[in-house]
Amino acid sequence: MTSSTAPQGAGHGVIALLPERCTSCMVCARECPDWCIHIDAHQEVEPAAATGGRPRTRNVLDRFAIDWALCMYCGICVDVCPYDALVWSPGRAPAEGRAPGLVHEQQRLAGNSPEHAGR
């Protein structure tokens, strides 16, 4: 058994973020029964793709954090994400000596993902 795989019967593992898929739609944060997901984003206007077209506005993810002190690992956020930006990843639940260490920001959550391991 390696540290990147969950032992047999260990449950789901941990929730990982695939930031390139996240559109900051906020569905996960709204549906979370514990309100443990924190998202900050801003909008940017992209120029029209074709002459005579309209510019488009898109959300840009500034901050995505999960407070593991509040999370009950129900997986609702993973299930409701329309872009599959949240996934179950093998691993163990985070443990910290102090409560502030249980708030994992975007970079650390992305590091939980098997797709981003070793980056």
pLDDT tens for residues 18-70?
A: 999 999 999 999 999 999 999 999 999 999 988 889 999 999 999 999 998 89
Residue 113 DSSP label: S
For residue 7, what pLDDT is reported?
46
Mind spelling out the 3-state secondary structure of 36-67?
CEEEEEEEEEECCCCCCCCCEEEEEEEEEEEE
For residue 115, what pLDDT is reported?
59
Check whether 3 has a pLDDT greater than 80.
Answer: no
CATH 3.40.190.10 fits 14-113, yes or no: no
Check whether 72 has a pLDDT greater than 60.
Answer: yes
Name the pTM for this structure.
0.74
Residues in the chain: 119
